[in-house]
Amino acid sequence: MADESYSPIWQHTIPTLSLTHPFLLSGLLAITSLHLSMTHPSTTHSKQTLKHHTQALALFRQELTDMTPEDTAGIFSLSILIPKFAFGVRHTRMRKTNDVVDEICEILALMKGVGVVVKRGGHWLSQSLYKARFLPAPCNGLGTPLPGTSLPATIAKSPVLLSSRNQELY
């Protein structure tokens, strides 16, 4: 089940950012076209999908060379859309392959790009529309969030589960 706390990001933050970042708008149009090509397969939808994605990547490359505080949230937004797009394309007739391992490696490499953007511009993201996602949650000494923090329960339990699994293995 999807974490509903991310809905505002997809419903408000990213569309709002796309109004001032043409590369992100093209990325959203590519995802929308991809969805249409999956639900109503046609050559037109496939062509539009590839056109918007190509345009998004071309504009995105230009932005990456000179990241600014004003562009970082838009760049981050597209960096999280690119792996989603790649994963979605895998399920269409635009790209059929039997090499699942290569596909997974490609998607993981694209996801690594999100980390690069965060590493280069995380200090700016913490002051952007994404600030709630980049501020650390208050924790007790064991890494467990304090009551009333906004960290999802599944994430809050992760350090404890990881620790117990490590103890079981070793």
What is the C-alpha to C-alpha distance for residues 18 and 92, in angstroms, rounded to an integer? 25
Instruction: Report the percentage of the chain scoring pLDDT > 90.
Output: 19
Task: Name the burial class of residue 7, with classes exposed (0-12), middle (13-18) and buried (19+) by CB atoms within 10 angstroms of its CB.
Answer: exposed
Residue pair 92/66 in contact (Cβ under 8 Å)? The answer is no
pLDDT at position 164 over 60: yes
User: Which letter does DSSP use for residue 146 in this model?
Assistant: P
DSSP classification of residue 142:
T
- Between 56 and 10, where is the model more confident? 56
Would you kindly state where each structural domain of the chain is located, as residue ranges? 4-135, 140-170
pLDDT digits (tens, 9 = 90+) for 11-51: 888 888 899 999 999 999 999 999 888 888 888 888 999 99
Rounded Cα–Cα distance for residues 28 and 18 (Å): 8
pLDDT tens column, 94-130:
555 567 777 777 777 777 778 888 888 877 877 777 7
The pLDDT score that the predictor gives to residue 58 is 93
Measured distance CA(7)–CA(131) in Å, rounded: 15
Beta bridge partners of 139: 145
> pLDDT (tens digit, 9 = 90+) per residue, 133-154?
654 555 555 555 555 555 556 6
Q: Is pLDDT at 2 greater than 70 in this prediction?
A: no
Q: Count CA within 13 A, CB hemisphere, residue 22.
A: 7
What would the pLDDT profile of 52-91 be if each residue is shown by its tens digit? 999 999 999 888 888 888 888 899 999 988 888 888 887 7
Q: Is 129 helix (H, G, I), strand (E, B) or coil?
A: coil
Mean pLDDT of all residues belonging to the chain: 76
